[in-house]
Amino acid sequence: MNNPPSPANAEAYLLQVRQVSRVFSDGQVSALVDVSLSIRRGEYAAIVGPSGSGKSTLLNLLGALDRPTHGEVLFGGRSLSAIRDIDSLRACQIGFVFQSFHLLPTLSALENVQIPMFEGPRRSPSERIRKAQELLTIVGLARRMHHLPSQMSVGERQRTAIARALANDPPLILADEPTGNLDSHSGSAILDLFDSLHRERHVTLVVITHSSDVAQRAERIITLHDGRLVPENESGREFLHPQGHVPAVSNSTSP
C-alpha cells in the first residue's frame, strides 16, 4: 500500500502522514479520513479548521499519543507503529504544549520543567536544574522559577509549559491551541517566543489553532474540514476568525 520511506524523504521530512484514517471505537465517527501530508524538518506549520474537523485527532497521531485506524505516521522516516519504545520517542523527540498548560500544581516552574528530564538522556539533579534554569531564562521567567503554577499568570504558565516542552531538546514541538486561554498580549508574547524558537533553535513547530494571528505566523497552513485535508491551494483562511474563533460547524465528525 505504502512505499517504504526513501532516505532522502526521511532526511527532508520529519513527519509523514500516509493515508491516515481514524475511526473511533464505536465505528461510527470518522475523525480523520485518508489524510496524507508531510512536514519538513524545521518547518513551522499551523493546522486550522473548524471545531470537529479532526485537528486534535491529527495532532494526537503526530505526537504518538494515539494510533491511526488505517494508514501510518512516520517520524524521521520510521513508522510509529514499528517503534517499540514510543514513550522514549515522546520524551526525547517531541515537546508538547497544551491549551490548558497541564503543569503539575505541586511543583514550581523550575521543577515542572525538569519533569521530562527524568526520561531521555541521563542527567544528574544539578544538571537538570541547570538546564531548567537555562530554559526558563529563555522563555523570560528567570525571576519566577520558584513560583507554583497557581502563583503565576496564565501567560507565565504557558511559558513554563513551553520551557518544559524544550527540556530534552526535541526536534518537534506540537502545540494544541497554545494561545487559546491567553489574552491577546500574552498570546502575542507566546507567538513571539515560538518565532524565536523556530528561528534560533530550528525546531519543527506544528500548531493547532483557531486564531488567524497564530496561523499567519506559520510558514504553512494545513486545513482540515470534516476530517479531510483541504488542498493547500484552496487555502484555509476562511476557517480563521480575526479574533480567534470560527463559527460552529453543524455536522461535526469529531468524537
Partner 1 sequence: MRFWGIAWKNLVRRPWRSSLTALGLSLAVAAVVALIGVSQRLEQSFLQLYNQRGADLVVQHSGGMMQLNSGISENLHERIGTLPGAGQVIGGLMDIVALERFDLFAVIVNGWRADCPVLDQVTIVEGRRLRAGDRSQVMLGKVLAGNIGKHVGDTIEFYAEQFEVVGIFDSFSIYETGAMFILLGELQRLMDRPGKVTGYVVQAAPAGDAAAVEELRVRINGLDPNIRAVAVSEFVRNISQIRLIRTASWVTSVIAIVIGIVGVLNTMITSVFERASEIGTLRAIGWHKWRVMSLVMAEALLLSSLAAIVGASMGAGSARLLGCLPQLAGFLDGWPPGTVIAQGVLLAVVVGVLGALYPAVWAANLRPIQALRRR
Query: Closer to partner 1 at the Cβ: 141 or 165?
Result: 165
Residues 140-179 that bind partner 1 (CB under 8 A): 164-165, 168
Q: What is the amino acid identity at position 71?
A: G
The reply on whether position 66 binds partner 1 by CB under 8 A is: yes
CB 205 to partner 1: min, Å:
17
C-alpha cell at 51: 471545531
Site track for partner 1 across 98-127, x = CB under 8 A: x-x-x-xxxx--xx--xxx-xxx----x--
Please tell me the count of residues contacting partner 1 according to CB under 8 A.
34
Which of residues 11, 87, 127, 192 is near partner 1 by CB under 8 A? Answer: 87
CB 212 to partner 1: min, Å:
26
The residues that touch partner 1, with contacts defined as CB under 8 A, are: 60, 63, 65-66, 87-92, 94-96, 98, 100, 102, 104-107, 110-111, 114-116, 118-120, 125, 128-129, 164-165, 168
